[in-house]
Structure 1
Amino acid sequence: MFADPQAYLLVLLVSVALYWIIPSSLPKLRAFVLIIISAVFLFTVSPLALLALGVITLTAIITLRLTLQKGSARIAWLGVLAIVVEFFIFQYYNARSANIVVTFLVVYGMSYVAFRSIAAMLDWKLYKRRPERAPSALDFTLLNTFFPIVPSGPIEKLDRLRVSALGRKAEPGLIGYGVLRLFVGLFMVGFVGDRIILANLTPMQEIYYGEGAGVSILGTWWFCILSLLYLYANFSGFMSIAIGSGALFNLKISENFNWPFMSTNIQDFWKRWHVTLGEFANRYMYFPMLKVFKGNPYISIFITFVLVGVWHAINMQFLLWGVFHGIALALYAFLSRKIFSPDMGAGSVRLVRAFGWLATMLFVCWAWTFAASPTIEGSWRMTGRLFGLG
């Protein structure tokens, strides 16, 4: 977390101590303390990331207020466009940075800030009907600056992390659970991810993404599996740290992984992997796309995941990753009604699910090689080796 686990834990402990010194009857003061600590911590890591966070948050605050005053969806969508443009401008200015932590914060960390802001803006009709639920500027700022969820998400819902949530009294069970999840996350990232998987993965990368003389099909598949497991160990570990950290403040942060490697189809996978991204894409991208494409679910699914791919990074690797997932999800949506029928026996259902699990895992591993490859040429070489073509 933020490159230095010890620094992160020190900031977390200081924050928790100050937070609980303040009475629960003063939630705004608690919010100010968390915002200030988070901003200072983020500034020490990347002033550019803090600037991006401030610009995106301010845009969202102004846009939502204008949208509620005028009652115009057009203003909300103009705000969305403004945030997208701002996000890519900050990516452009960060492109020359050699610091991988700063790049991670500006590219991925700020994407979560942007997603959270966009979600709140597009929910303006809900706040129009219920003005008392409309977020204040302090709510918005707390949502976007709360440091445990800045670098890796999740795309937290506003109702889970607003100032009023800081007024609850301590729940010892939740705090104890937070300590457990914090240590599980540190174990996943530091031991499973870095010491076990990465130690074996690093010497293989140049071989399998390079010329790869003498590599076997099974060896190539094993490399791809290790790459995906490393991503999972780190990403789910970061999520566990965020959830555990939030619980220490008596906050229930959303789960982002739900046993994704038990998925029996690609649709099920995206309900289990990066759950909050799937929910965001479904609500704020897919359904608007349905209106644009006159109810055609397949084109809407495809375009949604192409956009999800490009949002990760503007390069051919992530574009193709999004294209492949978009095709797979659209194809499954089309075929699922034909594959499963009411008169199928239990044995047939189990067989289809077993095949679906295997096909899903192999597809996810293969598609990830495009996102993980440093070059598009390396991705295609990897594909050839996976299927015995090179």
Structure 2
Amino acid sequence: MSKIWLFLSSLFFYSWWNPKYFPLILLSLFVNFFIGTYLGKEKPIWQRKLMLTIGIVFNVGLLGFFKYYDFLINNINLVFSTDFNLLYLVLPLAISFYTFQQIGYLVDSYRQETKGYVFLDYALFVYFFPQLIAGPIVHHKDVMDQFRDPFNRRVNAKHIAVGLLVFSIGLFKKVVIADAFAVWVNSGYSMAASLTFIDAWMTSLSYTFQLYFDFSGYSDMAIGAGLLFNIHLPKNFNSPYKALNIQDFWRRWHITLSTFLTRYIYIPLGGNRKGAVRTYVNILIIFAISGIWHGAGWTFVLWGLLHGIASVINRFWTRAGFSMNKVLAWFITFQFVNATWVFFRAPNFTTAIQVLKGMAGLNGVSIPDQLANILHWETTRLYTFSLAASALEVLLYLAGALCIVLVFKNSYEWKEQFKPKWYYAVFAAALFIYSAFHLQKVTEFLYFNF
């Protein structure tokens, strides 16, 4: 009964946003479970291959129609001077995430690795509400046994305590830190053509930290909420801005997406088993897929390819036996990530180039008058900092965010090192209450768009 209630609650949670997509999510659920069950049976190999193909085409077709139809038609109209109508489809919530989860399930069913699963456990695996909306992308082995474990139907005081702590950390990341940066990011990108050196860098760095605290905050909230039901969701972030190279970054950022792409695309393509050239091609393929998965736009594709090229260069560098000072390695990695996030955030190439030109100083270098007054500089080229009421405020937020991501323990370390102490309760309560007072100005989670 507890699992039925949890499943119905998850469906209600999903449907509350847009009830018209409720039939779609049920269709996806039943079709994938039926195909997965068929693939798990002893059938002729050609029948199982055909059914797997049907299942993958079904899932990719749904995702492609809702997410990429307008993008495809727009490009066809542009290239061939046609005038096909756009549908202006609203992307069904979480379709990118539950599509990948179910494709992984079908592939593992084909490999005979999913036998014995019942419908209710499968339904919870796909639509467990803490992780449904924006991940982490859960593998069936991560949670299915937990749903079947009768001990997880009992109240666990430690899990509740840890869950509330991690949830409160995630909530604070989102509504206090990420949403503060969102104001300056939106302001900066809305006037990208006029950004000069300092405010362009503040704009780009603000988005770098907004995205991190927004998405990692959601992942923390998902993990924390899962623990309230005695379900351990997989780690999705591990201090990615501490990375010393781009491969290290992708081992730490959106870990479950990297795991999916490696397991179901990179390795089947041959991984690194077919020579250096083929390895580099495979790397570029998975990063191009990562880019287009994040958004239906050429800026996302370029973002993915830039990370793919950087990964190829890093692998070549490592194989050649070169090394680099750790501080310099961190600085180069962080600045590359920061610069490429510009393409991730910008609505088009024109805006992205404008921001990057500002960062390069090609639009001039001006000192905000607020900073000039503090530094007692006299210059005839002062301007009013337009991203916020105070340039100093943005600088303090950036310095604080950098300190948090480089010095403080991440939420997973808090979770693993947790001991029931009174000060943990006070800390969690303080974060939660303070965050609650900021809920009236919350923006949507960025990964809801993907």
TM-score (norm 1): 0.80
User: Does the aligned pair in 2 maintain the 1:30–1:166 contact within 8 Å?
Assistant: no
Is the 1:52–1:110 Cα contact (8 Å) retained in structure 2?
no
Preserved CA contact (<8 Å) 2:271 2:279:
no
Task: Give the letter aligned to residue 325 of structure 1.
Answer: H
Offset of residue 373 of structure 1: 0.6
Give the match for residue 78 of structure 1.
54
Equivalent residue in structure 1 for 2:284, among 274, 285, 302: 302
Q: Which amino acid counterpart does residue 116 of structure 1 have in structure 2?
A: Q
* Residues 139 and 336 of structure 1: CA distance in aligned 2, closer, same or farther (over 3 Å): same
1:229 is displaced (CA, Å) by: 0.4
* Letter of the 1:175 counterpart: I
Deviations 1:14-45 (A, max 9, x none): xxxxxxxxxxxxxxx22211111111222121
Q: Which amino acid aligns with 1:38?
A: S
- 1:87 partner letter: L
Residue 16 of structure 2 is aligned to residue 57 of structure 1: no
Give 1:85 shift. 0.7
Describe the shift of the 1:308–1:252 C-alpha distance in structure 2 as closer, same or farther (beyond 3 A). Answer: same
Structure 1 residue 136 corresponds to structure 2 residue 118: yes
Instruction: Answer with 296-305 or 155-164: which moved more.
Output: 155-164
Instruction: Indicate the SS of the match to 1:131.
Output: coil
Report the counterpart of residue 177 of structure 1 in structure 2.
162
- Structure 1 CA distance, aligned partners of 2:294 and 2:283? 17
Using a 3 Å threshold, how does the CA distance of structure 1 residues 280 and 385 change in structure 2: closer, same or farther?
A: same
**1:87 equivalenced with 2:67 (yes/no):** no
Would you say 1:372 and 2:345 are equivalent positions? Answer: yes
2:249 to 265, 269, 273: 269
Aligned equivalent of 1:237: 217
Runs of 4+ aligned structure 1 residues displaced above 6 Å come to none
The within-5 A match list for 1:136-285 is 136-162=118-144, 163-165=147-149, 167-168=151-152, 169-194=154-179, 196-208=180-192, 211-212=193-194, 215-285=195-265
Q: 1:185·1:237 contact (CA, 8 Å) conserved in 2?
A: yes
- Please point out which of 382, 385, 388 is paired with 2:355: 382
Deviation at 1:291, TM superposition (A): 7.0
Contact residue 101 and residue 137 of structure 2 kept, 8 A: yes
Query: How far has the Cα of 1:167 moved from its partner?
Result: 4.4
In structure 2, give the amino acid aligned to 1:123.
Answer: D
Structure 2: which amino acid aligns with 1:252? H
CA contact (8 A) 2:100 2:137 kept: yes
Residues in 2 aligned to 1:167 and 1:126: alpha-carbon distance in whole angstroms: 29
Distance 1:290 1:123 in 2: 18
Do 1:57 and 1:141's aligned partners in 2 also have CA atoms closer than 8 Å? yes
CA contact under 8 A between 2:109 and 2:115: conserved in structure 1?
no
SS of residue in 1 equivalent to 2:187: helix
Worse overlay, 153-162 or 250-259:
153-162
Residue 151 of structure 1, CA deviation: 1.2
Instruction: Return the alpha-carbon distance in structure 1 between the equivalents of residues 357 and 177 of structure 2.
Output: 29
Bigger helix fraction: 1
Contact map agreement 2:266 2:286 (CA 8 A) in 1 = yes
Kept in 2, the 8 Å contact 1:309–1:321? The answer is: yes
The change in CA–CA distance for 1:313 and 1:293 in structure 2 (over 3 A counts) is farther
Aligned residues: 338
Q: Which has the higher contact order (CA 8 A, sep 6+)?
A: 2
Structure 1 residues without counterparts, runs of 5 or longer: 1-28, 341-348
Output the amino acid matched with 2:343: F
User: Which amino acid in structure 2 is aligned with residue 249 of structure 1?
Assistant: F
CA contact (8 A) 2:40 2:115 kept: no
The answer as to 2:332 corresponding to 1:359 is yes
Contact 2:29 2:123 in 1 (8 A): yes
User: 1:19 aligns to what?
Assistant: none
User: What is the aligned counterpart of 1:337 among 310, 319, 323?
Assistant: 319
d(CA) in 1 for partners of 2:7, 2:98: 14
Shift of 1:125: 5.1
Deviation at 1:203, TM superposition (A): 2.4
Once residues 156 and 49 of structure 2 are traced to their aligned partners in structure 1, the CA distance between those partners, rounded to angstroms, is 40
Asked if 1:286 corresponds to 2:266, the answer is yes
Cα distance in 2 for partners of 1:278, 1:160 equals: 15
Q: Where does residue 20 of structure 1 map in the other structure?
A: none
Q: Distance in 2 between matches of 1:115 and 1:85?
A: 12
RMSD value, Cα: 2.4
In the TM superposition, residue 288 of structure 1 has moved relative to its aligned partner by 1.5
Q: 1:302 to 1:48 in 2, by over 3 A?
A: farther
Q: Is 269-278 or 310-319 further displaced after alignment?
A: 310-319
TM-score, normalised by the number of residues in structure 2: 0.70
* Corresponding residue number in structure 1 for 2:103: 118
Call closer, same or farther: CA 1:231–1:31 in 2, change over 3 Å.
same
**Conserved? CA contact 2:189–2:355, under 8 Å:** no
Is 1:67 aligned to residue 39 of structure 2? yes
